[in-house]
């Protein structure tokens, strides 16, 4: 029997390679809160009552101790493990490959646990309360018709940058009806002399500061799992480049369905400001932001 109450999936299997540690359990709030504590609070306020954490199996004990057991006081909690060997039947893992296959594969890993419309977020990003409100409102009535009906929360690019270094962002093209046309991954985005620019082939190219950026906040119906299986099978059969490092990215999977005419993705725009610890130098600025939010009464003590 299918349950239609929306579920929140949190991708937490990644380690912060540039940051040099497990960002998901690094305190940032005035009472030792983690970024994920604020995300869960906002999600609960928006209406979500169940969360599925996608983690590495070896992380469960520490994740449960630091996050899971507190979360159980307000939401149903399940865990799913992302494993390099959890791939479609007939596919093979290249010799020497050690890590799983990226965010598209991470969501594929949820297929046996989620049977309702679901949202997807990163564990170590703060997205703001409106993000969850818009996501839940879409999912509560989400259903597929002649096409799959999915959504993405889109942020102003200028609200997704850090002063500590370059970031990669999916820059979106949006149709007149508010649906997503395409997502293009732009690398090495920085702010220089008031302009937002990205680097390509040694050149700096300007981007509109209010361009819509994807921060991996998506809403799907369960139909997406079947499409991920097909996409992942094709990806693994035709890996381009280094098979040890290549990943099957979630935006790539969505973009492919749009181009095939199989899916419509509604862009839910927000002016919320992103906070995250991409670099060690970000931590103090993020802490200051959460202290100010607590001081303004936006959040009670969450720990």
List residues bridging with 8 in a β-sheet.
51, 119
Share of the chain above pLDDT 90, in %: 79
The structure tokens 């970024």 sit at: 35
Q: What value does the mean pLDDT take over residues 46-56?
A: 96
Q: 290: pLDDT confidence band, cut at 50, 70 and 90?
A: very high
Q: What is the dihedral of CA 199, 124, 274, 19, to 10 degrees?
A: -40
* pTM listed for this prediction: 0.93
Q: Which domains does the chain have, with CATH numbers?
A: 7-295 (3.90.550.10)
Q: Judge whether residue 125 has pLDDT over 60.
A: yes
State how far the alpha carbon of 134 is from the alpha carbons of 82, 179, 258, 274, in Å: 28, 15, 21, 16
CA angle 144, 148, 153 (to 5 degrees): 105
47 closest CA partner among 110, 3, 5 = 5
Give the Cβ contact number of residue 158 at 10 Å.
15
Tell me, what's the pLDDT at 277? Answer: 86
């Amino acid at each position: 029997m299918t349950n239609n109450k929306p579920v929140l999936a949190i991708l937490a299997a990644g380690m912060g390679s540039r940051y040099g540690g497990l960002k998901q359990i690094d305190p940032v709030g005035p009472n030792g809160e983690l970024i994920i504590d604020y995300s869960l609070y906002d999600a609960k306020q928006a209406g979500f009552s169940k969360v599925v954490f996608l983690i590495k199996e070896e992380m469960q004990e520490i994740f449960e101790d630091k996050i899971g057991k507190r979360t159980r006081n307000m939401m149903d909690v399940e865990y799913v493990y992302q494993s390099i060997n959890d791939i479609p039947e007939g596919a093979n893992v290249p010799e020497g490959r050690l890590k799983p296959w990226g965010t598209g594969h991470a969501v594929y890993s949820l297929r046996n646990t989620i049977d309702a419309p679901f949202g997807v977020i990163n564990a170590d990003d703060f997205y703001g309360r409106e993000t969850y409100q818009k996501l839940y409102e879409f999912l509560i009535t989400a259903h597929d018709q002649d096409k799959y009906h999915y959504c993405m929360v889109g942020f102003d690019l200028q609200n997704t940058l850090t002063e500590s270094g370059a970031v990669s962002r999916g820059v979106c093209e949006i149709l007149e009806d508010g649906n997503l046309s395409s997502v293009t991954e732009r690398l090495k985005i920085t702010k220089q002399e008031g302009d937002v620019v990205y680097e390509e082939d040694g050149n700096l190219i300007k981007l509109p500061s209010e361009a819509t950026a994807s921060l991996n906040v998506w809403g799907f119906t369960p139909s997406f799992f079947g499409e991920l299986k097909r996409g992942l099978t094709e990806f693994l059969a035709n890996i381009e480049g280094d098979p040890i490092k290549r990943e099957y990215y979630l935006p790539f999977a969505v973009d492919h369905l749009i181009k095939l005419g199989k899916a419509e993705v509604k862009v839910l725009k927000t002016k919320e400001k992103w906070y995250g610890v991409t670099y060690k130098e970000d931590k103090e600025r993020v802490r200051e932001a959460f202290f100010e939010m607590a001081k303004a009464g936006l959040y009670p003590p969450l720990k």
